[in-house]
Amino acid sequence: MPSWNSELYKYPLYLILHPFNGFWELKYERSRKMNLVISLVILFLLIVMKIMKTQYSGFLVNIVYPDSINSLMETLYVVVPVLFWCVANWSLTTLMDGEGKFVDIFTSTCFALVPLLVIQLPWIGLSNLISLEEVSFYQFFNSLSVLWCAYLLFVGNMTVQQYSPSKTIGTIILTIVAMAFMAFLCLLFFSLIQQMIAFVQVIHQEIVLRR
């Protein structure tokens, strides 16, 4: 059994280079607890990277209004899409005879996001060392990481659910639709809650002032 430390970084790197074997092992051969720990670490690193990206990327690729930088919002931008994706995917695949449990879906999704980390993290530093003509490299590598990520999501979903490729593509499209639906429901929910709170507040005010 390899040591805990090297396992943390060696396995995800193996997985992104050998996705079919990697995801198979993830689902059937590795300890679930370990996978979950690695997934959470990946998610945490992604949050850190997102915050660092808005803060430390070079001037030529990153013009942000300083007052609009908010680390809490950056955290949400990472966590919310991942959770939405997992929940939407899980709700769909349970109805479509997928074999993945929620934990499997969550870990496979997090592992699929590793290319973002591997490629974009060094580019935060590198973006400070490039000129305007070299910005296209930055953009190329960024889109490469996103494409790689999408490929891994596809393979991960296929392996974890034991689907055919065409069914996986269909599920992914449906998942995106479901995510949009969930976003709509969340907005509705929050605005209703807001209205209710406002209503109670107004009544409270009314009582206080009428005395």
Partner 1 sequence: MMWVQKKIYLLIALCCLVGIGAGGTMVQAADGAESYNYSYWGLTTVAPAAYQANVLWNGESIGAGAFKEPSDFHVTEDQQIYVLDSGNNRVVVLDNKFQQVQTISSFVHGGKEETFNNPQGLFVTGNKQLVVADTGNKRIVQLDQSNNLIKVIEAPKSDMLNEKFDFQPVRVVVDKAQRIYVMSTGVYDGFMEFSPDGTFTSFVGANKVFFNPTDYLWKMLSTKAQKSQMVMFTPTEFTNLDIDQEGFIYATNGQESGNVKKLNAQGNDILRRNGYFAPEGDIRYRTADGPSRLIDIDVGDSEIFSILDGKRGRIFTYDGDGHLLYVFGGMGNQMGQFNTPVAIERLGDEFLVLDKALGEITVFQTTEYGRTLNEAVRAYYNGDEDKAYSLYQQTINMNSNLEFAYAGIGKSLLRQGDYHEAMKYFKESMDQKDYSKAFLLYRKEVLREYFPGIMTGVLLVIVCWFGISKYRKRKGVKKVAFMEQ
- Point out which residues bind partner 1 (CB under 8 A): 59-60, 63, 65, 129, 131-133
Nearest distance from residue 59's CB to partner 1, in Å? 5
End-to-end CA distance of the chain: 73
User: Phi, psi (5° rounding) for residue 3?
Assistant: -70, 155
**Contact, 110 vs 43, CB < 8 A?**
yes
Distance between CA 169 and CA 39 in Å, rounded?
24
45 or 60: whose CB is closer to partner 1? 60
20 or 137: whose CB is closer to partner 1? 137
Nearest distance from residue 67's CB to partner 1, in Å? 9
132 or 208: whose CB is closer to partner 1? 132
Nearest distance from residue 60's CB to partner 1, in Å? 5
14 vs 22, 25, 74, 191, CA distance in Å?
Answer: 7, 11, 28, 44
**Contact, 179 vs 85, CB < 8 A?**
yes
Nearest distance from residue 63's CB to partner 1, in Å? 7
- Indicate the helix (H) or strand (E) that contains 184: helix 165-210
4 or 59: whose CB is closer to partner 1? 59
User: Phi, psi (5° rounding) for residue 184?
Assistant: -60, -45
**Contact, 179 vs 88, CB < 8 A?**
yes
Q: Which of 109, 91, 112 is nearest to 171 (CA)?
A: 91
29 or 67: whose CB is closer to partner 1? 67
60 or 119: whose CB is closer to partner 1? 60
Nearest distance from residue 133's CB to partner 1, in Å? 7
CA angle 101, 183, 74 (to 5 degrees): 90
Nearest distance from residue 130's CB to partner 1, in Å? 8
**Contact, 120 vs 49, CB < 8 A?**
yes
